[in-house]
Amino acid sequence: MPLPEFEKTMFEALLARRSVRKYKSKKVDNLTINNLLEAAVRAPTALGQEPWAFVIIQDKILLKNLSDYAKPLFLNQIHKHNSKQAEHKSDLFNRPDFNIFHDANTLILICGKADLPFFTADCWLAAENMMLAACAMNLGSCVIGSALSAFEVPEVREKLKIPDNYVAIAPIVIGYSDEKNTPSLRKSPVVFSCISAPKF
């Protein structure tokens, strides 16, 4: 596969990557998706197991239906665990016009083969690779954790052809950003200890 043209160096992509929540209507083409998947599967993987598989959705009606299905499931989930967050999210998630996929036209769902060791960590490493590659190609991305409950429902899994031995790990929207990309600030690293080699 020929290497794609990158607009940013890897370190520039690391610093520039952020969660994008507003997208243009321009569709992500198949070649770009293939390049993103190639970046994902180049992630480190425990014991060489490569437990990942992908669901790619570019049907905006299906994405809207999934959003409507996922919103009440997510609200029920956070009401059980975090009343402050539930109060904050309820107003937004109860709005009929709110789409949890932020009206992006591409969702890539990373699934992991659940009978392999460290499959969750491997899938998240693949997710980071894919999001950094997207940023390097001037694409936006956002992890949509609020959609995960929907991907546990048997009817949804069947529609998306997710096998029983795979678990949905990382739903990520990809698209062309329609908002100003300002890098997010981060706290300085917390270092508990830094042990140098002993002198002899």
Separation between Cα atoms, residue 197 and residue 195, nearest integer Å: 7
pTM of the full structure: 0.89
Identify the residue with better confidence: 156 or 8.
Answer: 156
CA 28, 31, 33 angle in degrees (round to 5)?
Answer: 55
Separation between Cα atoms, residue 150 and residue 131, nearest integer Å: 22
- The structural domains of the chain, with segments of one domain joined by +, span 10-175
Angle of helix 119-136 versus helix 30-40 axis, rounded to 10? 130
Q: Give pLDDT, residue 4.
A: 66
Handedness of CA 79, 121, 141, 14 (dihedral sign): positive
Q: What's the pLDDT tens digit per position in 143-198?
A: 999 999 999 999 999 999 999 999 999 999 999 999 887 767 888 989 998 888 77
Handedness of CA 52, 120, 102, 161 (dihedral sign): positive
Provide DSSP, 40-107: HTTS--GGG---EEEEEE--HHHHHHHHHHHHHHHHHHHHHH-HHHHHHHHHHHT-TT--TTTT-SEE
Over 70: is that where the pLDDT of 29 sits?
A: yes
Q: Give pLDDT, residue 200.
A: 65
Angle of helix 60-81 versus helix 83-93 axis, rounded to 10? 150
Q: Does CATH number 3.40.109.10 belong to domain 10-175?
A: yes
Q: What's the pLDDT tens digit per position in 50-88?
A: 999 999 999 999 999 999 999 999 998 888 876 666 666
Q: What's the pLDDT tens digit per position in 89-100?
A: 788 888 999 999
